[in-house]
Chain A
Amino acid sequence: MTRRVAVMLLLAGLAGLSGCTQAKKTPIVAYAAAPASPAYSSAPDAAAKLDYPVESVGTSSGQPSGQEGFQLASAVDSSLPVNSRMIIYKATLQMSVVDIEAALTSAQKLCTEAGGYMDALTSHSITLRVPARNFDRVLDDVRKLGQMLSREIRAQDVTEEYVDLRLRLKNAEATRDRLLAILEKAKTVKETLEVERELSRVREEIERIKGRLAFLERETAFSTIHITFSLPAPTQVIRNRPPTPFAWLDALGVERVLQLDR
């Protein structure tokens, strides 16, 4: 009897592998759920350009908003609509402003107005999470807060990982269902324990995959903008130029005339 259960478990595992192979042979229909920033999305219809085929997993209901994205993340299922690349955007800015407190407040306001939220705040820096679709707009607005000293924007394409995880999730769920069917047929305590042990392992794998999918959906739905503000130094430069002996030239400008730096 034990041997029979072992054989069934083996078959269940093989069936899982087989399902995986079949899935890879199924043509792509759609994938990826979270919205990407239009200006930075290099291939909005890149589904058909993937190197490997992906199984269709449901119908699209449009791009999720930030909150929707979070809800999706907490309840990943195989029917998630997918229709564009999954890209995580992160911007790191260094800006010079005459009033750091005012700049922090303005940045937070811009973020809130764009449907985002503040992720972290210090006395001179702020981390914003904004819906990916508003990433460009918020960046444009933020640059008006002061003088941009440096800007770094990183885009991480996680489409492949996401698609792979979705496949693994589907296969793990299929394995779980088969194990449940086997469990129903188990006749001895030993058989039951063996199947349940395997079932527990598969369930853990499903939860782990769902967690990672949720993370990717959250990260792609909301872009991160980290801004560090500093006060302008009297000799602060945008481009390095040799100093002149005429110090008063460096005192020219709006800041001194209007005493913005007082």
Chain B
Amino acid sequence: MRLAKYIAALLPAICLYGCTGYRLPAGYVKVEPTYDVQFRAVSAEGSALTYRIEENPENGNLAFWEKAATNRLVEVRGYQLTDRQEVRNEHGTPGVEMTFDYSQIGIDYVYLLTMFVRGDRVHVFEAAGPRETFTPDLPAIRKAIAEWPL
């Protein structure tokens, strides 16, 4: 039982160790992650891509997390959901991709949230940047997320 707890605690690290198969989006460099994300990369323009793994409680599914995330971002934080689509990564894992608009100090940002649920883990990709400079990066970011080994 104790061993199982250790494994569970080490799982993110183990996963990250195993995440050597990822490919950075073109124009992005890997930097030291902050807060509680496991991965962070930034562009020269200041846009960023982060990746985090969260626990998926019993009965949690993609629909639950999509609804929970949308509720916090739109209802609580004032983000505007501009696009939503169901996606599937290159390994066949179903996910959901949501695009939001957000303004801060006169700057219009685009925020891309992509989530996959695999077993007891939720894989969360966040990418954001000023609309003008970030929009051209979107294809490369989507490609990197699709190829990411979960």
- Interface residues in chain A, defined as those with a beta carbon under 8 Å from any beta carbon in chain B: 97-99, 102-103, 106, 141, 144-147, 236-239, 241, 244, 246, 248-260, 262
Q: Give the CA-CA distance A144 to B46 in the complex, in Å.
A: 20
Q: Are B76 and A241 in contact (CB under 8 A)?
A: yes
Which stretch in B16-24, B83-91, B104-112 binds the other chain? Answer: B104-112
Are A252 and B104 touching (Cβ within 8 A)? no
CB distance from B68 to the nearest CB of A (A): 6
Bound-state Cα–Cα, A98 to B104, Å = 8
Instruction: Check B129–A258 contact: CB distance below 8 A.
Output: yes
In the complex the two chains form, what is the Cα distance from A51 to B55 in whole Å? 70
Check B46–A98 contact: CB distance below 8 A.
Answer: no
The answer to whether B28 has its CB under 8 Å from any CB of chain A is no
B36 interface contact, C-beta 8 A? yes
Q: Are B126 and A252 in contact (CB under 8 A)?
A: yes
Chain B residues whose CB sits within 8 angstroms of the CB of A256 once the complex forms: 35, 37, 50, 126
Q: Which of A102, A236, A244, A258 has the most CB of B within 10 A?
A: A258
Structural contact, A254 and B69, CB atoms closer than 8 A: no
- Interchain CB contact under 8 A, A257 and B48: yes
CB distance B111 to A147 under 8 Å?
no
Query: A259 contacts which chain B residues (CB < 8 A)?
Result: 34, 48
Known A238-B77, A241-B76; judge A257-B106 contact (CB<8 A): no
Q: In this assembly, does B135 line the interface, its C-beta being within 8 Å of a C-beta of chain A?
A: no
CB-defined contacts of A251 to chain B, threshold 8 Å: 35-36
Q: Is the CB of B75 within 8 A of A144?
A: no
When distances are taken between beta carbons in the complex, the residues of chain B under 8 Å from A250 are 72
Given the known interface contacts A249-B72, A251-B36, A257-B128, the answer about A238 and B111 at a Cβ–Cβ threshold of 8 Å is: no
A232 to B102, CA, bound (A): 14
Give every chain A residue within 8 A of B69 (Cβ-Cβ). 249, 252
Once A241-B71, A248-B54, A249-B69 are accepted as A-B contacts, the answer to whether A254 and B104 lie under 8 Å apart by CB is yes
A residues less than 8 Å from B93 (CB atoms): none
- Whether B109 lies near A254 (C-beta < 8 A) is yes
Question: Contact: A244 with B76, CB < 8 Å?
Answer: no
- Interface size of B by Cβ–Cβ distance < 8 Å? 34
Complex: A251 Cα to B103 Cα, angstroms: 17
Contact flag A258-B48 (CB < 8 Å), given A98-B105, A144-B103, A246-B68: yes
Interface assignment of B113: CB less than 8 Å from any CB of chain A: yes
CB distance from B64 to the nearest CB of A (A): 10
The answer, among A146, A248, A257, A262, for a CB contact under 8 Å with B127, is A257
| B52-96 to A contact mask, C-beta < 8 Å, 1/0 | 101000000000000011011101111100000000000000000
Query: Contact between A238 and B78 (Cβ–Cβ < 8 Å)?
Result: yes
Max chain A C-beta neighbours (<10 A), residue from B54, B76, B109: B76
Bound-state Cα–Cα, A147 to B106, Å: 10
Distance, CA A249 to CA B109, complexed state (A): 19
Our pick among A97, A236, A253 for the contact of B105 (Cβ within 8 Å) is A97
Task: Given A241-B71, A246-B68, A257-B128, check contact A147 B104 (CB 8 Å).
Answer: yes
Q: Decide: B102 and A238 in contact? CB cutoff 8 A.
A: no
A136 CA to B89 CA, complexed, in Å: 47
A239 to B36, CA, bound (A): 25
Residues of the A chain whose Cβ atoms lie less than 8 Å from the Cβ of B46:
258
Name the distance in Å between B98's Cβ and chain A's nearest Cβ.
10
* A121 to B: closest C-beta gap in Å: 18
Q: Which residues of B contact A254 (CB under 8 A)?
A: 102, 104, 109, 111, 128
Instruction: Return the contact of A252 from the options B34, B47, B106, B113 (Cβ within 8 A).
Output: B113
| B47 close to A258 (CB less than 8 A) | yes
Q: How far is the CB of B73 from chain A (nearest CB, A)?
A: 6
